Amino acid sequence: MTLDEIIKSRRDTRHFTNDTIPDEVIQKALQAGHCAPSVGLTDATKYYLIKSAEIKKAVKELFLDYDHKASNLTDDELQKTQYKALKLEAIEEAPLGLVICYDRSVLNNFTIGTVGSNEAIKFSAVCAAQNIWLSLTEQGYSMGWVSIINYYQFKLLLGLPENIEPLGYFCVGKPATNYNNQPMLQQLNWKQKQENPHVEEILFSTPVSVPDSLRVTTQLHTDDSAISEALQQEIDNKTKPLGSLGVLESLAKQIGIVFQTLEPKITKPNIVVFAADHGIANHGVSAYPQDVTRQMVNNFLEGGAAINVFCRQNNIELTIVDAGVNYDFPTNINLVSAKIGKGTQSFLHGPAMSQTELDLCFVKGAAIVNSIFETGCNCIGFGEMGIGNTSTASILMSILLQLPIEDCIGKGTGANDEKLIQKQNILKNALGNYRGSDDLQSKLAYFGGFEIMQMTGGMLQAKENNMLILVDGFICTVAFLIAYKMNPSVKENAIFCHSSAEKGHQKILDYLNVQPLLQLDLRLGEGTGCAVAFPIIQSAVCFLNEMASFESAGISKK
Q: Give all domains of the chain, ordered by start, each with its CATH number.
A: 3-182 (3.40.109.10), 269-534 (3.40.50.10210)
Q: What is the pLDDT of residue 458?
A: 97
Query: Chain-centre distance of CA 395, in angstroms?
Result: 22
Q: What is the pLDDT of residue 399?
A: 95
Helix (H, G, I), strand (E, B) or coil at 337: strand
DSSP 109: S
Instruction: Mention every residue, 6+ apart, whose C-beta is less than 8 A from residue 50.
Output: 56, 59, 96, 97, 98, 99, 169
Say if CB 392 and CB 447 are below 8 A apart.
yes
- Rg of the chain in Å (alpha carbons): 28
Which residues form the catalytic set?
A: 526
The overall longest dimension of the chain from CA atoms, in Å, is: 102
pLDDT in tens, the chain (558 residues): 788 888 888 888 889 999 999 999 999 999 999 999 888 788 889 999 999 999 999 999 999 988 887 777 777 888 888 888 888 899 999 999 999 999 988 877 777 776 666 778 889 999 999 999 999 999 999 999 998 888 878 988 999 987 888 999 999 999 988 877 777 777 666 677 777 887 887 777 667 777 776 765 544 455 678 899 999 999 998 988 999 999 999 999 999 999 999 999 999 999 999 999 998 988 878 888 888 999 999 999 999 999 999 999 999 999 999 999 988 887 768 999 999 988 998 898 889 999 999 999 999 999 999 999 999 999 999 999 999 999 999 999 999 999 999 999 876 555 667 778 888 888 999 899 999 899 999 999 999 999 999 999 999 999 999 999 999 999 999 999 999 999 999 999 999 999 998 889 999 999 999 999 999 999 889 999 999 999 999 999 999 999 998 787 777 666
Strand ordering across the sheet containing 164-173: 45-50, 96-103, 164-173, 142-146
The dihedral through the CA atoms of 367, 371, 373, 379 has a sign that is negative
> Where does 271-407 have alpha helices with state H?
291-302, 306-313, 355-373, 389-401
Helix (H, G, I), strand (E, B) or coil at 492: helix
- Bridge partners of 518, per DSSP, are 498
Say if CB 397 and CB 408 are below 8 A apart.
yes
202: left (phi over 0), alpha (psi -120 to 50) or beta: beta
Q: What is the pLDDT of residue 386?
A: 94
Instruction: Mention every residue, 6+ apart, whose C-beta is less than 8 A from residue 361.
Output: 323, 340, 353, 448, 450, 453, 454, 456, 457
How many helices (H) and strands (E) the chain has is answered by: 20, 10
DSSP 218: S
DSSP 489: G
Say if CB 393 and CB 382 are below 8 A apart.
no
Q: Is residue 132 within a helix (H) or strand (E), and if so which, with residue range?
A: helix 120-138
Q: What is the pLDDT of residue 539?
A: 96
Helix (H, G, I), strand (E, B) or coil at 113: coil
Q: Is residue 470 within a helix (H) or strand (E), and if so which, with residue range?
A: strand 468-471
DSSP 198: -
Annotate 410-457 with DSSP letters as a single string.
--TTT--HHHHHHHHHHHHHHHHH--S-SSHHHHHHHH--HHHHHHHH
Reported residue count of the chain is 558
